[in-house]
Amino acid sequence: MPAHNESTLWRTQNFLRDRTLVLRLVSRAKIGPTDVVYDLGAGGGILTDALARRAGRVIAVEKDPALVTRLKARFHDRPNVEIRHADILAHPLPRAAYVVFASPPFDATSAIVRKLTSAAAPPRDAYLVLQREAADRYLGRPRQTLAGLLIAPWFSVRIIHRFARSDFAPSPAVDVVMVRMRKRGPPLIAGSDARLYRDLVVALFVSRIPSVGAASTRLFGRRVSRRLLYAAQIDPASSPSALEFSAWLRLFREFARLPSGLRGAVAGAERRLRRKQRRLQKIHRTRVPRDALSPASRRGEASSHLVDPIFATVPS
């Protein structure tokens, strides 16, 4: 058993260990002396240190009280570094322009990405260390995903670095990459249409009916569905995951022209999905503490972090 004052939160996180690598990654980022950068889940401060050499101001947010104490001692003489003791999911984001550069806990990926991309003022750029499979889902490959579609009109996503497992302590049981999520300007869908787009995508994507044609027929009726898909140049037999993002954009633009009564058929779809997610998260939080698991079970636990609720609800 750990001592009462011993840190235990580190057991859910894999920390970067190579200072030279971190300096190289930060040097490649679009960060300059006028930027405010948030390091979410700062850990021991390896990213904070590199960021402070380039950014005008660095906000290092860390939940673990033992690590916060260490961070404050390490950066007490760095005037452009501010240490905040807070849960990164509860900490408010600024209204002014900012950048995120972080290596957060892998099992918080979905919640962190949702927080950043749905913020009233999203970051200009978010550089995030993610498990590769999670990154692929936001990229929509090898097949389209709901997670990717829900952010694609407002953010472009690409992988900018592939890590070796030995770059972390402890070494993860999965492949890890760094992604850059860049806010689009202008967005591909206006903010005023965001809820309608997201409800449409969710309503069609989480349907247990395997084809877009059958799912849209159930929602809008056969006649409207056929006209809608024809105008959007979509094969009704296609599955939601087989459609390119460009096809989803065409579909939404045609859908947005329908009478309000028909558009109402998808109203609240995302809200209902979020409720389902919260129920799944309650189950997820009851898992056995990591250091009570055998090595084999721990490897399985690392993989299970990829199946966060928004992914688990979506048919492959």
CATH number for the domain that contains residue 105: 3.40.50.150
- Per-residue model confidence as pLDDT tens digits over 163-189: 999 999 999 999 999 999 999 999 999
Residue 5 lies in a domain: no
Q: Is the pLDDT of residue 281 over 70?
A: no
Domain boundary among 183, 209, 227: 183
Q: Rounded to whole angstroms, what are the CA distances from 276 to 109, 195, 234, 254, 264?
A: 18, 18, 29, 29, 21
Kindly give, in sequence order, each residue whose CB lies less than 8 Å from that of residue 306, ignoring residues fewer than 6 positions away. Answer: 131, 133, 134, 174
pLDDT score at 208: 81
User: Which of these, 156, 164, 137, 155, lies nearest to 306 by C-alpha position?
Assistant: 137
**Same domain for 243 and 276?**
no
**Same domain for 58 and 163?**
yes
**Same domain for 68 and 137?**
yes
**Same domain for 23 and 170?**
yes
Residue 90 lies in a domain: yes
Residue 220 lies in a domain: yes
CATH number for the domain that contains residue 257: 1.10.8
CA–centroid distance for 125 within its chain: 13
**Same domain for 81 and 167?**
yes
Q: Which domain holds residue 298?
A: 271-312
Residue 121 lies in a domain: yes
Q: Is the pLDDT of residue 9 over 50?
A: no
pLDDT score at 288: 43
**Same domain for 163 and 285?**
no
Domain boundary among 167, 183, 199: 183
Please state, rounded to an integer, the average pLDDT across all residues of the chain: 88
Q: State whether the Cα torsion 270-271-276-280 is positive or negative.
A: positive
Residue 7 lies in a domain: no
**Same domain for 52 and 127?**
yes
Q: Residue range 127-153: average pLDDT?
A: 95
**Same domain for 142 and 109?**
yes
**Same domain for 247 and 122?**
no
Has this prediction a pTM greater than 0.75? yes
CA–centroid distance for 16 within its chain: 19
**Same domain for 301 and 233?**
no
Q: Residues 90, 115: contact at Cβ < 8 Å?
A: no
**Same domain for 59 and 201?**
no
Residue 240 lies in a domain: yes
Q: How many domains does the chain divide into?
A: 3
User: Which of these, 47, 56, 54, 52, lies nearest to 21 by C-alpha position?
Assistant: 47
- Spatial distance between the Cα atoms of 264 and 245, rounded to a whole number of angstroms: 23
- Phi and psi dihedrals of 122, rounded to 5? -65, 160
**Same domain for 253 and 291?**
no
Domain boundary among 137, 167, 183: 183
Residue 1 lies in a domain: no
Side-by-side strand order, sheet with 176-183: 81-85, 57-62, 36-40, 99-102, 125-131, 176-183, 155-162
Q: Residue range 190-209: average pLDDT?
A: 94
Residue 41 lies in a domain: yes
- Per-residue model confidence as pLDDT tens digits over 40-82: 999 999 999 999 999 999 999 999 999 999 999 999 999 999 9
